[in-house]
Chains A and B, each alone.
Chain A
Amino acid sequence: MKVNDILAGAVLLLLSIAILAYTRTLPNIPGQNIGPAAFPGLLAAILLGCSVALMARGWRARRAGPWVARMEWTRHFDQVRNFGLVCASLFFYSHFSEKLGYFICAFAVLGSLLASLRVRPALVVPLALGITLFIHTLFYKLLRVPLPWGLLERFAW
């Protein structure tokens, strides 16, 4: 989904108004007439000015293109699936890695992505396994990052 400058400016305008409203709730530094609200308040005011300018620019060029346009790739199922899968992979890993463990999550993420990117089916499982082990060795063994074992706790090495 691609929006024109008028709509992008409107979103930024709302954001800047929300930030300005929020900064009014912040207290001052005791004994000073300046506080944590000053800097974000100033930035929000600049953002407000910029978003109005963006909307004005978009308005002048409103006939040049549609207000909302589909990105070309959204017409292709493969690309939409890939995009969704990357986002879903990150969501899945962040929510389930503590419970299921690194190995299961990493293998699932890699396997599904490799398959979705049309890597030869016979290669998907060995590649996913190999890359999972490689990253595990690098971070868990060499850099000592405590990657969670989760369900495979019994097999920890």
Chain B
Amino acid sequence: MDMLFSPHYVKAFFLVMDPYVLTVIFCSAVYGLFVGCIPGLTATLATALLVPITFFMPPVPAVAAIVTASAMAIFSSDIPGALLRIPGTPASAAYVDEAYALTRKGQPELALGAGLVFSVIGGLFGTLVMMAFAPTLADVALEFSSFEYFWLVCLGLAGAVFIGNASVLKAGISLVIGLLVACIGNENPAAYPRFSFGSSELAGGVDLIPMVVGMFAISEILRFVTSLEAPLHVAATKIGNVFGGMWKLTKKYKWPIVRGSALGTIIGIQPGSGPDMAAWMSYAMSKKFSKEPEKFGTGHVEGIIEAGASNNSSLAGAWIPAIVFGIPGDSITAIGISVLYLKGMNPGPTIFLKTPENIYAVFLVFVLANLIMLPLGWLAIKAATKVLLVPRRILMPTILLFCVVGAYAVNNTVFGIVLILVFGVLAYFMEEHGFPVAPAILGVVLGKMMEENFVNSMIKANGNPMAFFERPISAFLGVATLIILLWPVGAWLWKSKHAFR
């Protein structure tokens, strides 16, 4: 409790209560709800499109916009899931059939109400964990040297490759491509213009904004304009009281709510896994521990409650390693981190020493975003049947122009537009060939940090690689990373040995 009354929190409170910041939070909440609600527009896309706008804001409102929009988009993606059986973002995919089954049974308000209320509870749970543990973890991280940071980045990237990807090999290739993109330009230990081929624009490196906008927005537009799917059909036109019976559900399913929130937070903290993984795992866990597992899949609300709490709590959880170590766990946090860097709020343990009020303000924004989700989410559900029918044929060209101008706005040069074209087409073809895009984004965000710590460590160690295992924490992290990296090789050897027998 003392923590909440610390002078930093008081300062942070006034930073957040600024009318400008509150307006930004409100607008980005409405925006996040709108984008998340439209099938095909993901929470990552909502966040990516906001980055060019945050470019022009002071640090706290900029991060507030990202945090609020992503939390809202993750919740509101439940809406098309329940009404159309199309999850707005992958985070809702785990329980989309369950929610749609409830709608077919004439209870869309139950599916949507549970999604809303328990998203809020999960989000607040994750935020409280973040507020309690991030500063403590930062104290520990202050002792870290380049060796520990190198392994932490490796661990984060290994997680991104090994968790939740259909093909580990393709995810690994995508990651290496991202890391190689981060090598472009003269921001390297020798300040030598690498891979710039005489271009002054490339010598400055590839800006993250056009890359993110290209990979998430342009590729999505390309997917839409080439899609052969039939027009959407809304399954319900009338939605009753979404808050009806929620208190009863809270009492009945209190343990699933706590379990979903806790598991979601842990999965969020774990690098490389985000809200979608949290929702899948929590849904599976809910079914396993349920007293009525046979009802799952027939329009039973229990799984929606647990997984809905889980995906929103993981969002806050993912910010813990992002803020404390500067290592994001998924693409949304990677975008958030890039905004922190753009605004000079370089993430890492020292952020709690240099500008603590800013980071505490971010924590408070999480709380506020989750609280306003209740009334705004309710309005979004009420407006849903109209929003879902917003013609995407008009929306997509608008988004395209928005991307163009947003990419131009970064440096006021058209080079940004060339980059969104290149990365948009690249991401489109990568996904068509089964290469996930998220590891590439993480690679670009973490590439410079990884190289800097690698080269600094090598110089300190005089070229001796064993120095990476000499400090205790570094040795632990190094061994953990190697176990994850060598796991598939071990599993393959074990399998082939048994097959031989």
Q: Which residues of A contact B (CB under 8 A)?
A: 2-3, 8, 12, 19, 22, 26-29, 32-36, 38-40, 43-44, 46-47, 50-51, 53-54, 57, 71-73, 76, 79, 82-83, 85-87, 89-91, 93-95, 97-98, 102, 106, 109-110, 113-114, 116-119, 127, 131-132, 135, 139, 143-147
Contact = CB atoms under 8 A, between A and B. Distances in A.
Contacts of B391: 119
Interface string B424-452: 11000000110000000000000000110
B86 to A, nearest CB: 19
Nearest to A85: B225
Given A50-B176, A83-B222, A135 B417 contact: no
Contacts of A32: 459
B400 A143 contact: no
Nearest to B53: A143
A122 B389 CA distance: 20
B421 A36 contact: no
Contact of A90 (B183, B228, B398, B421): B421
B421 A91 contact: yes
B11 interface: no
Contacts of B188: 36, 39
A50 B225 CA distance: 32
Given A73-B228, A90-B420, A135-B398, 13 more contacts: A8-B433, A40-B194, A43-B183, A50-B169, A57-B169, A72-B228, A86-B221, A93-B404, A95-B414, A117-B397, A131-B397, A139-B409, A147-B408
Given A12-B173, A43-B180, A131 B408 contact: no
Chain A to chain B: the 7 pairs with minimum beta-carbon distance, closest first: A82-B225, A94-B417, A90-B421, A113-B397, A73-B226, A117-B393, A39-B451
B172 interface: yes
Contacts of B56: 143-144
Nearest to B409: A145
Contacts, number: 160
Contacts of A53: 169
B454 interface: yes
Nearest to B391: A119
Contacts of B414: 93-95, 97-98
A79 B225 contact: yes
A79 B223 CA distance: 10
Contacts of B473: none
Contacts of B155: none
B432 A22 contact: no
Nearest to A144: B56
B104 interface: no
Nearest to B57: A143
B213 to A, nearest CB: 11
B239 interface: no
Nearest to A72: B228
A115 to B, nearest CB: 10
A30 B455 CA distance: 14
A148 to B, nearest CB: 9
A156 B310 CA distance: 51
Nearest to A84: B225
B181 to A, nearest CB: 10
Name A's interface SS. Answer: helix
Contacts of B496: none
25 contacts: A2-B432, A34-B458, A73-B228, A79-B225, A79-B227, A79-B228, A86-B218, A86-B400, A87-B421, A89-B400, A89-B404, A90-B417, A93-B404, A94-B415, A94-B417, A109-B404, A114-B393, A117-B396, A117-B397, A119-B393, A135-B398, A135-B402, A143-B56, A145-B405, A145-B409
Interface string B213-233: 000001001100111100000
Contacts of A106: 401, 404-405
Nearest to B188: A36
Contacts of A83: 222, 225-226
A51 B433 CA distance: 14
A90 B393 CA distance: 18
Contact of B173 (A26, A54, A119, A146): A54
A97 B450 CA distance: 38
A72 B412 CA distance: 38
A69 B459 CA distance: 49
B498 to A, nearest CB: 19
B225 A34 contact: no
Contacts of A90: 218, 400, 404, 417-418, 420-421, 424
Contacts of B425: 87
Contacts of A82: 225-226
A72 B227 CA distance: 9
Contacts of B227: 73, 79
Given A38-B458, A86-B225, A94 B401 contact: no
Contacts of B406: 139
B169 A26 contact: no
B180 A34 contact: no
Given A54-B170, A79-B228, A86-B222, A94 B421 contact: yes
Contacts of B463: 33-34
B469 interface: no
Nearest to B451: A39
A25 to B, nearest CB: 10
B192 interface: yes
Contacts of A114: 393-394, 397
B386 to A, nearest CB: 18
Contacts of A109: 397, 400-401, 404
Interface string B185-212: 0001110101100000000000000000
Contact of B418 (A51, A94, A143, A146): A94
Given A94-B421, A118-B393, A34 B455 contact: yes
B80 to A, nearest CB: 20
B179 interface: yes
A121 to B, nearest CB: 13
